[in-house]
Amino acid sequence: MKADAAATSAADALRDLFDALPDVQAWIKDARRRYLWVNRTFLLNYGMQRLEEVLGRTDDDLSPPHLAAHFRAGDEAVLAGQTVQGRLELVGRFDHTAAWCFTTKKPVCNARGRVVGTAGITRMLDAAQIDQRGDIRLGVVISLMTRRLGESVTNAEMAHAVGMSARAFERSFLREYGLPPQQYLRRLRIQTACRLLVDTRESISAIGLRCGFADQSHLTREFRRVTSLTPGAYREKYAAANVPSPAAPVLSRRRAKR
């Protein structure tokens, strides 16, 4: 009984610590990718106030389809026993934009060693610092893509930036980020367009050129393929997203029972 009480107390203490971290999102999911617990920063990122608002929901409920599909692929890899260690990725927010984050995910196992879920943390990063950090794999390449979003960037140029042959670079990038470099670059362009559509009143054609598309028709075609919406429809649907009200303190499970 004392051991059980001590374990419960330790779990409550960890939850309180994670709730106190202002720039780190933390979560636990079951094998069906449903959230079992998240910390305060996670809730704020998605415009929620209470833990009950997210319990039992999945990324399909919280994020645009193109981001949810990316998170799903990562969860499936972790459920298969892999660990995602220090991966750079774009994480969605309540306003359907996305921010660069540094993510680690690990499998959660039961007493028999069977994987029954996933746990993860992610920390927001300043995009300008990506290529300055040695702990971000291929961060120099991601920074290059970001700086030259409106230009053509070849695999050979990316490989040269990290001192690798093109073939070795392509294999390494696919292994680390789950997509070939050019597919990742196209997705990055779409995600950047999503942010600009929501955060600015810049014309759709100007956003297309800024994000590396030949013209507005090219942007619309690629955008609809990824998000199932046209850029105009995406802006209309999400640009007026409500900014969340100041959040009430997030109750731990222990306090919620009182």
pLDDT in tens, 49-86: 899 999 999 999 988 777 788 888 889 989 998 888 87
Is residue 250 pLDDT above 50, yes or no?
no
User: Each residue of 173-194: b (16+ CB within 10 Å) or e?
Assistant: beebbbbebeebbbbbbbbbbb
Q: What is the pLDDT of residues 6-30, one digit of tens each?
A: 555 778 888 889 888 888 999 999 9
What's phi and psi for 82, nearest 5 deg? -85, 165
Q: What local confidence, expressed as pLDDT, does residue 254 receive?
A: 42
Cα dihedral sign, 29-223-214-206: negative
Whether the per-residue pLDDT at 198 is higher than 80: the answer is yes
The pTM (predicted TM-score) of the whole model is: 0.66
Give the span between the Cα atoms of 29 and 44, in whole angstroms. Answer: 18
Domains and CATH numbers, the chain: 1-125 (3.30.450.20), 128-240 (1.10.10.60)
Report residue 253's pLDDT band, with 50, 70 and 90 as the boundaries.
very low
Across the chain, mean pLDDT equals 84
Interatomic CA distance for residues 117 and 157, integer angstroms: 39
Strand partners, 26: 121
| E strands, 31-179, in order | 35-38, 84-92, 98-109, 115-124
β-sheet bridge partners, residue 124: 101
Contact (Cβ atoms closer than 8 angstroms) between residue 207 and residue 219: yes
Rounded to whole angstroms, the Cα distance separating 15 from 216 reads 47
Tokens for 133, please give them.
């950090």
- Residue 53: burial class (beta carbons within 10 Å; 0-12, 13-18, 19+): middle
Please give the residue that has the higher pLDDT: either 187 or 243: 187
How far apart CA 102 and CA 114 sit, in angstroms, is 27
Rounded average pLDDT over 161-173:
94
Strand partners, 121: 26, 104
Q: Cβ of 109: how many Cβ atoms within 10 Å?
A: 12
Helical pair 216-227 and 181-199, crossing angle rounded to 10 deg? 100
Query: Two tokens at 178?
Result: 């789950």
User: For residue 93, what pLDDT is reported?
Assistant: 73
CB 143 within 8 A of CB 131: yes
